[in-house]
Structure 1
Amino acid sequence: MRANCSSGSACPANTSEEELPGDPQAQGSLELVFTVVSALMMALLMFSLGCSVEVRKLWLHIRRPWGIAVGLLCQFGLMPLTAYLLAISFALKPVQAIAVLVMGCCPGGTISNIFTFWVDGDMDLSISMTTCSTVAALGMMPLCLYLYTWSWNLQQSLTIPYRNIGITLVCLTIPVAFGVYVNYRWPKQSKIILKIGAMAGGVLLAVVAVAGAVLAKGSWNSDVTLLTISCVFPLMGHVTGFLLALCTHQSWQRCRTISLETGAQNIQMCVTMLQLSFSTEHLVQMYSFPLAYGLFQLLDGFLIVAAYQTYKRRLKNKHRKKNPDCAEVGHEQKSASCKETDSFLEVNEGAGAPGPSGPADCHRALGPTSHLAACE
């Protein structure tokens, strides 16, 4: 497909070209090692996260894909539009505008599944959204890029990395399928695997952040405008995804999930597409953007997790004060009042959630001490 981008407010004239910093061969070898190692670690991580998925809930999302539909609308509706508006508003150079737009058209990244687990989100919905957005990217990426670049005039062919999309899809679905099977056959062992996977996810995020900084060494001389966009873009994705989920009356748990899925993009796919589509002279102006976006989306994710965990801790402390005996008993020896408090914490946000009628109405009609048994 053709990307047209040399006229318009978002596409001023090109500046003089620079040479890529560092030894290209050494950097290429480092990128290859990083890609292989990260792919293996991600496969193991997705296997462990798959152990949290229940077949019944996953099938329910597939049969009634309202949450998935909202997520796809965020992924291929809000994100490309946001990218286009940012490119226009900041009057980016042609190749930089294309880099921002390609990032906005990419499917969701698997990094969102880790953050969703840490904020007690809907893991079944999160994994379903990541898988569906990766499949939809086979057609939606070319469509979005065509719609948003037809008025531009850059004589450059954009190559959609179908092979990379396929590899990502395989690395995503097969480990998750094994994890779902393990959770179905050995639920006790799957909980242990899930805890290990959560810790491995933290290590993976640290490795990705360090490797991204190393790979971006020498590329941070791009202008402040591009770095500003890479900082604002994922945050806007999180906010707009949350607001759209809220407007469509999703539960608070689903709102958190859709928000994280919207702002977390597949960085590796964006980098691959840029490498396949542009020359070395163009890459020097756009290569730092996906790396910076990846680092900022990690930072945003950690801030969201920290804010949620702080809120959760305060909420628990608030209700534990009403039942001080809960802090003195063991996990297996909880009194009836302690179990009652924990049950209230689990459904506290659901009672005021903007979700569809049904369980929420039952929660509002009954007191916190009896709504669980009555609803069940």
Structure 2
Amino acid sequence: MDDINQIPFNFDPRIGLIVGIMVGFLVFAVSLDLTWAKVMSVLKNPKAPIIGLLAQFGILPAIAFLAGLYLSDAASIALGLLLVTCCPGGALSNYLTGVAKGDVATSISMTTVSTLFSIVLTPVLFTFWASMNTSTLEVLQNISMDPQQVIISLLIMLVVPVTAGMLLRANRPHTANHIRGMVRLIAGIVFFVIVAMLIGSNFKSLALLAQVALFPVLFTFVFAVGLGWGIGWVVGLLAAERRAVAIEVAFQNVALAIGLGITFFPSLGGIVAVAILWGIVHLLLGSGLALGWSHIRIN
């Protein structure tokens, strides 16, 4: 599997910066929904969001670790699974929760709070779980990561957009509501074009990597959906809340994962390939799940 680990993606050096900025815009759009009042509301009625966040950050990365350990011999695939599952929820989950007749308030609260927590949790959890696997640890040790680049990337993709979104929401709520959809749409379109370019210029590499990455991605994604729904059922969440948690746990911010993969692991195509495949899987299967749930009445 050493050959698989060394399959590279072709990146224009400028793509990394552009992707980082676009990810920042997407995170900024999500953060426009985050207010301290909403955080306090979650703290006052925290059951569904806390259960979901524990599943998302506490259990799912462990499942991804096991999937990378036992379902693939390629360290780059294992690292890709960890990177995706250590990222916060994506904005698409809020829309699909509405389609699925789930509790949109729970979904939005999970997305925004997980985005806030991800500033610390994403790098910490990724490093922790990667160090638990000898093959992924070896890869990390052989990759030179500039601490300054790490800080700058986290600032661009997470810290600055989260802070800016919260400040704008707090001081100019009308403006935040007005531009929220537009910012998300523009960033999403540009990011989609960039991903399409990445796929087009690396189609052969992606096809080769998909042969060993698709099953681990499918397994982890399906497990994530079942995890969110199952934990919600065990603790007695309402059906609408279970649907929201199930979608939120499985729908990671693949834009962030792709951006981090391009920035820090340009020589390991498997990491970006997993993020792209996760995005395709959660778009297709997740949309199908949401549509299916939309036809099932909630008692």
TM-score by length of 1: 0.61
Q: State whether residues 76 and 144 of structure 1, in contact with CA within 8 Å, keep that contact through their aligned partners in structure 2.
A: no
1:38 shift after superposition: 4.8
1:245 aligned residue (217, 232, 239)? 232
Q: 1:30 to 1:41 in 2, by over 3 A?
A: same
Q: State whether residues 229 and 246 of structure 2, in contact with CA within 8 Å, keep that contact through their aligned partners in structure 1.
A: yes
1:294 shift after superposition: 2.0
Which residue in the other structure is 2:138 paired with?
154
Which residue in the other structure is 1:14 paired with?
2
Q: Distance in 2 between matches of 1:232 and 1:209?
A: 25
Which residue in the other structure is 1:87 paired with?
68
Q: Does 1:222 align with 2:208?
A: yes
Q: State whether residues 265 and 271 of structure 2, in contact with CA within 8 Å, keep that contact through their aligned partners in structure 1.
A: no
Q: 1:208 to 1:286 in 2, by over 3 A?
A: same
Q: Distance in 2 between matches of 1:272 and 1:39?
A: 10
Which residue in the other structure is 1:359 paired with?
none
1:35 shift after superposition: 3.7
Q: 1:287 to 1:248 in 2, by over 3 A?
A: same
Q: State whether residues 260 and 301 of structure 1, in contact with CA within 8 Å, keep that contact through their aligned partners in structure 2.
A: yes
Q: State whether residues 82 and 126 of structure 2, in contact with CA within 8 Å, keep that contact through their aligned partners in structure 1.
A: no
Number of residue equivalences: 285
Which residue in the other structure is 1:212 paired with?
195
Q: 1:250 to 1:277 in 2, by over 3 A?
A: same
3-state SS of 2:3 partner:
coil
Q: 1:105 to 1:286 in 2, by over 3 A?
A: same
1:255 aligned residue (219, 242, 246)? 242
Which residue in the other structure is 2:130 paired with?
145
Q: Which of structures 1 and 2 has the larger relative contact order (alpha carbons within 8 angstroms, sep 6+)?
A: 2
Instruction: Trace 1:187-202 onto structure 2 (pairs within 5 A).
Output: 193=178, 197=181
Q: Does 1:76 align with 2:66?
A: no
Q: Distance in 1 between matches of 2:196 and 2:222?
A: 20
Amino acid at match of 1:215: L
Amino acid at match of 1:253: A
Instruction: Trace 1:292-307 onto structure 2 (pairs within 5 A).
Output: 292-307=277-292
Amino acid at match of 1:75: Q
3-state SS of 2:72 partner:
coil
Q: State whether residues 99 and 291 of structure 2, in contact with CA within 8 Å, keep that contact through their aligned partners in structure 1.
A: no
RMSD: 3.7
Which residue in the other structure is 2:169 paired with?
179
Q: Does 1:96 align with 2:77?
A: yes
3-state SS of 1:140 partner:
helix
List alignment gaps of at least 5 residues for structure 2: none
Q: State whether residues 138 and 165 of structure 1, in contact with CA within 8 Å, keep that contact through their aligned partners in structure 2.
A: no
Q: State whether residues 68 and 129 of structure 1, in contact with CA within 8 Å, keep that contact through their aligned partners in structure 2.
A: no
3-state SS of 1:222 partner:
helix
List alignment gaps of at least 5 residues for structure 1: 1-12, 316-348, 353-376
Q: Deviations over 1:19-70 (max 9, x none)?
A: 6465x4xx333443344345335534643x45xx793x54221245333432
Q: 1:38 to 1:98 in 2, by over 3 A?
A: closer
Amino acid at match of 1:221: A
Amino acid at match of 2:90: G
Greater C-alpha radius of gyration: 1
1:226 shift after superposition: 0.8
Instruction: Trace 1:332-371 onto structure 2 (pairs within 5 A).
Output: 349=298, 352=299
Give the structure with the larger helix fraction.
2
TM-score by length of 2: 0.74
Percent identical: 17
Q: Distance in 2 between matches of 1:235 and 1:162?
A: 33
Q: State whether residues 270 and 290 of structure 1, in contact with CA within 8 Å, keep that contact through their aligned partners in structure 2.
A: yes
1:263 shift after superposition: 1.0
Q: State whether residues 107 and 134 of structure 1, in contact with CA within 8 Å, keep that contact through their aligned partners in structure 2.
A: no
Which residue in the other structure is 2:89 paired with?
108
Q: State whether residues 164 and 269 of structure 1, in contact with CA within 8 Å, keep that contact through their aligned partners in structure 2.
A: no
